[in-house]
């Protein structure tokens, strides 16, 4: 991939989560879509203001679970019926009640692993470089006590001057340009 | 909940939906509750009318009696389970508990009616329980020689007589209801006193009442589990005198939690069309209660299946016939339906976040869960009797349909009384720090 150049976006810094949420709602209302909030701890309202709710983690989790239950059940059937048939107390070889517990455990295991790794993958992690770290204010405050809203340059509505003016009408600590 | 709400105050007026909402003007139950009660009574009357034709044959009378026991046991689930859930929310705390407290109190206050519902069973119980039909060693010996009981039944009847005989059963039933009545009386009384506390809405008052309720509820839960285990053995398990299962009481406990949550969620959602619950029930708490119901759905199948798996693995003649009677001869259909209704359908649906947050869909699902409890109870009760064990049939056995009409009548009567109790008090316990939190804006979890 050729190195990207130019501006990544405008990063506004806030002192409180409610200021961040208000600015995010206003930005969405003004027509911005390519934007992201960065907070030191989960702020549900920010996710809501970004209209960020649906993702594919539940689907991955479900697929993982279905994969787990089928794999385990079929494997046990194969072992008990064909690979290593044993007569246990005269029961039929295909004694499905005995297969349920391992199949259940595999469902949980596979669903849990797919949810965790699926979440990491869908987040785009591991990621070695992200432009917002170019902003000194972000490096200092993003994991401690500051709240950030980044309006990205790829948004069709983005304009260096107008977007900056838009952000500055809020009680920001700073608004800085972030380079790629 | 980590979001600092103190910041909302500074946020200013133009984002008003971020601030706390104000308390509803009234906390009285809406008028519609009386209309629901009338409807419940109409349903009960219609169900009684439909039951009458069954009363003219011998098998019909038997089925009415068994179906009545089923209706009684479902009502006991609501009253006793409601009390247990009430105590559980006192010891665990949380906003879900506050919003559900008054419906749970109303359920627990029906314990007197449920005790009354048991009285008819005493008069007819020699048609239900072998230990009531043959209460002495002499009667058992005679029944054995008449082939009215098997040798195994005769020996177990003699061995279990200390616990299972008419006098002991009456004593146990009275003890269960007396203790449950005492606990619900204290909890309900204190709940009103808590609201009337002159020091209300102060830290001191919150702490004093919280500790008082906790101290009664903690031992109360333990006691309830013991009493319920005893009740479930005497009223239901002893229908098959020879059977043993150590998980029986716990299974009923979880089944009651399942039923009480379904009824509680249903009550809250129906009430949420009107004030004050309209303001007080947030999607967040509905979602939490949905998750709780999901946990009970899972725990219920876990215990039921564990019991089956252990008995199936052991394959001992003492225990396995109980399952064979419930699987063979047409019962396979009911058994599979029980599994699908009780677990498969609620489990798959409750997985969905959107469904748990949707009022209309949760109404349907909770009604379905209550229906599933009834199917389960039918599967537990009817195959105990020799005419039905491993032989589900309707030809010359039309009275089995009483399992539809009689429980509907009993439960509808109970619902009417429950709604009366629900109307008797304001719908929210106001002297509680969670009231303020319920008025805060929603959080998306």
Minimal-distance CA residue of chain A relative to B11:
A18
From residue B1, give the alpha-carbon distance in Å to each of A115, B283, B286, B305, B382.
Answer: 23, 15, 16, 37, 49
CB atoms within 10 A of CB B56: 9
Q: What is the dihedral of CA B226, B231, B233, B236, to 10 degrees?
A: -150
Chain B residues within an 8 Å CB radius of A43: 3
CB B192 within 8 A of CB B282: no
Task: Express each pLDDT in A44-69 by its tens digit.
Answer: 888 888 887 678 898 999 999 999 99
The phi and psi torsions of A176 (rounded to 5 degrees) equal -125, 150
DSSP 8-state assignment for residue A14: E
What contacts 24+ positions apart, CB below 8 Å, involve B23-27? B23/B279, B23/B435, B23/B439, B24/B275, B24/B276, B24/B278, B24/B279, B24/B280, B25/B275, B26/B275, B26/B276, B27/B276, B27/B426, B27/B427, B27/B428, B27/B430
Q: What pLDDT is stored for residue B47 in this prediction? A: 96
Rounded distance between C-alpha atoms, residue B61 and residue B51, angstroms: 10
Assess: ipTM above 0.85: no
Q: Which residue is it, tokens 């009363």?
A: B55
Over its length of 445 residues, how does chain B's per-residue pLDDT go in tens digits?
334 333 333 333 334 455 677 888 888 888 899 999 999 999 999 999 999 999 999 889 999 999 999 999 999 999 999 999 999 999 998 899 999 999 999 999 999 999 999 999 999 999 999 999 999 999 999 999 999 999 999 999 999 999 999 999 999 999 999 999 999 999 999 999 998 888 888 888 899 999 999 999 999 999 999 999 999 999 999 999 998 888 888 999 999 999 999 999 999 999 999 888 888 898 889 999 999 999 999 999 999 999 999 999 988 888 899 999 999 989 999 999 999 999 999 999 999 888 999 999 999 999 999 999 999 999 999 999 988 888 888 888 888 999 999 999 999 999 999 999 999 999 988 888 888 888 887 754 4
Does the CB of A169 have a partner CB in chain B at under 8 Å?
no
Rounded distance between C-alpha atoms, residue B286 and residue B350, angstroms: 12
Q: Which residue is it, tokens 């509905």?
A: B286
Rounded distance between C-alpha atoms, residue B11 and residue B231, angstroms: 57
Rounded distance between C-alpha atoms, residue B344 and residue B338, angstroms: 9
Minimal-distance CA residue of chain A relative to B4:
A17
Q: Tell me how close the Cα of A125 comes to any Cα of chain B, in angstroms.
A: 23
CB atoms within 10 A of CB B122: 12
Structure confidence at residue A83 as a pLDDT band (50, 70, 90)? very high
Does the CB of B124 have a partner CB in chain A at under 8 Å?
no
Q: How far is CA A89 from the centre of its chain?
A: 50
Beta bridge partners of A174: A13
Three state DSSP letters for B252-315: HHHHHHHHHHHHHHHHHHHHCCCCCHHHHCCHHHHHHHHHHHHHHHHHHHHHHHHHHHHHHHHC
Q: Tell me how close the Cα of A124 comes to any Cα of chain B, in angstroms.
A: 22
Q: DSSP letters of A59-103? A: HHHHHHHHHHHHHHHHHHHIIIIIIS---STT--S--THHHHHHH
**Partner-chain residue, chosen from B2, B4, B309, that has the shortest CB–CB distance to A97:** B309
For residue B85, the SS3 value is helix
Structure confidence at residue A160 as a pLDDT band (50, 70, 90)? confident
- Among candidate residues B377, B399, B380, the one with its CA nearest the CA of residue B61: B399
**Partner-chain residue, chosen from A18, A44, A89, that has the shortest CB–CB distance to B315:** A89
CB contact under 8 A, A97 and B308: yes
From residue A8, give the alpha-carbon distance in Å to each of A12, A149, B21, B70.
Answer: 13, 13, 40, 68
Cα end-to-end distance, chain B, whole Å: 10
User: Both tokens of residue B15?
Assistant: 């984002």
Q: What pLDDT is stored for residue B443 in this prediction? A: 55
CB contact under 8 A, A44 and B443: yes
CB atoms within 10 A of CB A31: 9
Chain A residues within an 8 Å CB radius of B11: 18-19, 22
Chain B residues within an 8 Å CB radius of A89: 315
Task: Express each pLDDT in A31-47 by its tens digit.
Answer: 898 999 999 988 888 88
Q: What pLDDT is stored for residue B18 in this prediction? A: 57
User: Both tokens of residue A31?
Assistant: 């027509």
Q: Tell me how close the Cα of A132 comes to any Cα of chain B, in angstroms.
A: 24
The angle subtended at Cα B129 by Cα B126 and Cα B135, nearest 5°, is: 65
CB atoms within 10 A of CB A25: 18
**Partner-chain residue, chosen from A17, A100, A101, that has the shortest CB–CB distance to B7:** A17
For residue A11, the SS3 value is strand
Q: What pLDDT is stored for residue B181 in this prediction? A: 96
Q: What pLDDT is stored for residue B12 in this prediction? A: 36
User: Both tokens of residue B39?
Assistant: 């409807």
Q: Tell me how close the Cα of A18 comes to any Cα of chain B, in angstroms.
A: 6
Beta bridge partners of B31: none
Whether the bond into B207 is cis, omega within 30 of 0:
no
**Between A and B, how many CB-CB pairs are < 8 A?**
45
List all residues of chain B from 360 to 419 with a beta carbon under 8 Å from chain A. none
Q: What pLDDT is stored for residue B11 in this prediction? A: 37
Does the CB of B309 have a partner CB in chain A at under 8 Å?
yes
């Amino acid at each position: 991939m050729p190195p990207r150049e130019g501006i990544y976006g405008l990063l506004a810094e806030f002192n409180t989560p409610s200021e961040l949420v208000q600015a995010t709602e206003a930005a969405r209302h003004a027509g911005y879509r390519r934007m992201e909030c960065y907070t030191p701890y989960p702020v549900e309202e920010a996710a809501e203001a970004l209209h960020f709710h649906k993702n594919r983690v539940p689907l991955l989790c479900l697929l993982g679970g279905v994969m787990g239950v089928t794999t385990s059940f079929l494997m046990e059937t194969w072992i008990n019926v064909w690979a290593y048939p044993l007569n246990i107390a005269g029961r039929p070889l295909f004694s499905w009640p005995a297969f349920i517990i391992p199949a259940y455990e595999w469902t949980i295991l596979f669903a849990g692993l797919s949810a965790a790794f699926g979440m990491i993958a869908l987040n785009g992690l591991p990621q070695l470089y992200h432009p917002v770290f170019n902003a000194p204010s972000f490096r200092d405050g993003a994991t401690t006590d500051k709240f950030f809203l980044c309006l990205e340059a790829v948004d069709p509505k983005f304009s260096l001057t107008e977007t900056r003016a838009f952000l500055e009408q809020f009680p920001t600590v700073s608004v800085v340009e972030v380079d790629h | 909940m980590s979001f600092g709400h103190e910041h909302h105050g500074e946020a200013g007026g133009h984002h008003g939906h971020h601030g706390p909402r104000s308390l509803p003007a009234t906390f009285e139950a809406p008028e519609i509750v009386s209309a629901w009660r009338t409807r419940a009574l109409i349903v009960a009357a219609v169900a009684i009318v439909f039951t009458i034709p069954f009363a003219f044959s011998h098998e019909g009378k038997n089925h009415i009696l068994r179906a009545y026991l089923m209706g009684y046991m479902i009502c006991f689930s609501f009253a006793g389970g409601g009390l247990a859930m009430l105590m559980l929310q006192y010891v665990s705390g949380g906003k879900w508990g506050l919003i559900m407290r008054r419906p749970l109190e109303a359920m627990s206050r029906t314990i007197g009616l449920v005790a009354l519902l048991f009285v008819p069973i005493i008069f007819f119980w020699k048609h239900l329980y072998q230990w009531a039909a043959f209460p002495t060693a002499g009667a058992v010996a005679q029944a054995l020689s008449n082939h009215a009981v098997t040798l195994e039944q005769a020996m177990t009847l003699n061995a279990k007589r200390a616990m299972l005989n008419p006098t002991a059963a009456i004593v146990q039933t009275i003890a269960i209801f007396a203790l449950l009545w005492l606990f619900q009386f204290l909890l309900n009384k204190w709940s009103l006193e808590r609201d009337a506390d002159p020091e209300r809405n102060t830290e001191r008052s919150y702490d004093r009442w919280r500790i008082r309720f906790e101290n009664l509820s903690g031992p109360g839960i333990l006691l309830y589990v013991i009493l319920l285990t005893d009740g479930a053995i005497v009223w239901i398990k002893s229908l098959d005198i020879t059977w043993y299962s150590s998980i029986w009481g716990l299974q009923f406990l979880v089944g009651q939690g399942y039923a009480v949550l379904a009824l509680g969620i249903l009550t809250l959602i129906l009430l949420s069309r009107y004030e004050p619950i309209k303001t007080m029930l947030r999607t967040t708490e509905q979602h939490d209660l949905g998750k709780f119901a999901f946990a009970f759905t899972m725990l219920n199948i876990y215990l039921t299946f564990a019991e089956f798996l252990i008995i199936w693995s052991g394959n001992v003649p003492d225990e396995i016939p109980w399952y064979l009677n419930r699987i063979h001869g047409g019962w396979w259909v009911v058994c599979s339906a029980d599994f699908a209704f009780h677990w498969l359908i609620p489990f798959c649906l409750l997985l969905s976040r959107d469904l748990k947050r949707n009022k209309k869909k949760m109404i349907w699902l909770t009604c379905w869960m209550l229906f599933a409890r009834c199917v389960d109870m039918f599967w537990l009760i009817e195959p105990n009797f020799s005419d039905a064990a491993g032989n589900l049939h309707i030809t010359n056995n039309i009275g089995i349909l009483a399992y539809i009409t009689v429980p509907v009548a009993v439960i509808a009567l109970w619902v009417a009384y429950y709604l009366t109790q629900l109307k008797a008090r304001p719908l929210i316990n106001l002297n509680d720090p969670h009231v303020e939190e319920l008025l805060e804006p929603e959080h998306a979890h």
